[in-house]
Chains A and B, each alone.
Chain A
Amino acid sequence: MAEDVWILGITMTKFGKHPDKDMVDLAAEAARGALSDAGVTMKDMGILAAGNLMNASAGIGQQLQKQIGQTGIPVYNVANACATGATALRTAVMAIKAGECDYGLAVGVEKLSGAGLLGAGGGSRSSGTHYEPSGRYGAVATTDGRIGTTTMPGTFAQIGMEYGHKYGGTSFELFAKISEKNHAHSTLNPLAAYTKKMSLEQIMGDVMIAYPNTRPMCSANCDGAAAAVVVSDSKLKTLSLEQRKRAVKIAASVLTTDPWQEACQILPDVNTLTRNAARQAYEQAGVGPEDLDLVELHDCFATAELVHYDNLMLCEEGGAVDFFNSGAPWRDGKTPVNVSGGLESKGHPIAATGIANIWEVCHHLRGEAGDRQIQGAKVGLAHVIGLGSACGVHILEKSAA
């Protein structure tokens, strides 16, 4: 059995618009913040895993080293849709578990302000002047908008509607109420891109993007970065009491992709891989959903949050609507979900999200979350999913030191 891995230092930048900072500035701010939080330096690191999606070929890891410390360690530049940050962290975790090093640094960064609609352009080409079949479907013209939609808002809207068709109880208003919760939570998070409370009427009356998701029910494109320093259990034992007290145990680190299911190549199946990841994570950590003091899950859209209550087994199968209506996922409920404000208000700088969610959980486990502290939090879960698909689930435990 490979040894345990701990988060020694972790940080996130404020999410939002950073017109004066480039990608490397944001990554450097997060990375140096995490190193400082951990009480270590780049010279201690044995691996750097760097996540960035929109400029995946830019070699962000090496660009970052050239600003904050070129020590010659291996860099893994990773891109894995919205699970990019979780993948970077998991890469560093695996290096430590493999015994290759004692310390690793994982960074996720994205510059997305004003990026607009993501995922559009599912067609093989723009409508041409000469109809010639091309691509895997032999399409003669753009298919997005003509044969359904593959845009993110449209896809996740259908995923929520499909859940409602299967189990009943959903409505435009129900999905809007999920968003109302996350926007209310965001008022306590100074690092969120949007921190305004929104009424149900405001949310439902806002611009419709893809029914039933209006604009405030969609994750916000923004800039941001997050970084974490991870350390082996044996190395942690040699560190100061203060470092050991603030260290957070990675009780489970899981990454899955979507196993083949009927329809999964028609409408992405975000359920099976999340359920598989959750099951593996609970088993690794030796905890169950009832043990979780808080959950940060991937609410890229309000419709997505609903299905993930079920996929992460926070409720009985088919019981997500009842779970929400019971008040459970509010910050004073049984299983607080997205007390950070979630992607709908905190923002979703894609590659940063997977580490920022873990930062939020760690912040509570360390008892450092200030006004939004979930009192006595000992165990938390962070979940991300990227279409394609990739799902990361991490379960984190407070240190006993």
Chain B
Amino acid sequence: MAEQVPLVEYLVLGDDPHLTAQECTGCGARFFDRRNACASCEGDQFKKVRIANEGVLRAFTIVSMAAPGVPVPFVAGVIDCDGTSVRGNVVNVEPSPDNVSTGMKVRLTTFPIGTDDDGVEGIGFGFEPVG
């Protein structure tokens, strides 16, 4: 199998793909990026926590116009994963307002986004409807 690399560092690959966040040990605020300190309480201690794979779609849009190179249409959304909000595309569904609605249950899924010149496969993530 080709070597794989996640699209972003907070995506963990392997047998049980999932997302992780940096959780502030002071106040519990969660962040997905590299931190200097906590934007909520100014603390600077964080621990890595696993984000639930299943969640509820809280907001979405169907993007029909995007920057060159971004395939459209696609469904972009915000998923409430057991109390932690996650940004992601809703995938494996026809991108139309008839098929996507806020409140729908979704779960994490991963897929290849391409291969670089060294043969390394990039792996992205999205959320697909459950059931």
Contact = CB atoms under 8 A, between A and B. Distances in A.
Contacts of A149: 61, 63, 66, 74, 76
A260 B71 CA distance: 32
Given A131-B120, A143-B8, A146-B124, A157 B89 contact: no
B49 interface: no
A208 B59 contact: no
B130 interface: no
Given A117-B66, A127-B69, A147-B124, A158 B61 contact: yes
Interface in B59-86: 59-67, 69-72, 74, 76-78, 83-86
Nearest to A133: B9
B74 A145 contact: yes
B102 A120 contact: no
A131 B116 contact: yes
A139 B7 contact: yes
Contacts of B67: 117, 120-121, 144-145, 151
A151 B73 CA distance: 14
Contacts of B39: 260, 265
A385 B123 CA distance: 36
Interface in A108-140: 117, 120-121, 126-131, 133, 136-140
Given A162-B102, A267-B87, A145 B63 contact: yes
Interface string A281-315: 00000000000000000000000000000000000
Nearest to B61: A157
Contacts of B63: 145, 149, 151, 153-154, 210-211
Contact of B85 (A117, A144, A260, A267): A267
B45 interface: no
A140 B78 contact: no
A120 B34 CA distance: 22
A210 B66 CA distance: 9
B11 to A, nearest CB: 9
A145 B62 CA distance: 11
A146 B29 contact: no
B46 interface: no
Interface in B83-121: 83-89, 97, 102-103, 113-114, 116-118, 120
B64 A211 contact: yes
User: Chain B CB within 10 Å — which of A138, A147, A209, A260 has the most?
Assistant: A147
A210 B65 contact: yes
User: Chain A CB within 10 Å — which of B30, B62, B72, B87 has the most?
Assistant: B87
Contacts of A145: 63, 66-67, 70-72, 74, 76, 89
Nearest to A124: B8
B6 A158 contact: no
B53 to A, nearest CB: 16
User: Chain B CB within 10 Å — which of A127, A164, A207 has the most?
Assistant: A127
Contacts of B64: 207-211
Given A147-B89, A161-B102, A266-B85, A130 B78 contact: no
B33 interface: yes
17 contacts: A121-B67, A127-B114, A133-B9, A137-B33, A145-B89, A148-B76, A148-B77, A148-B89, A151-B63, A154-B63, A158-B77, A161-B60, A208-B62, A208-B65, A210-B62, A211-B62, A212-B61
Interface of A: 117, 120-121, 126-131, 133, 136-149, 151, 153-154, 157-159, 161-162, 164-165, 172, 207-213, 260, 262-263, 265-267
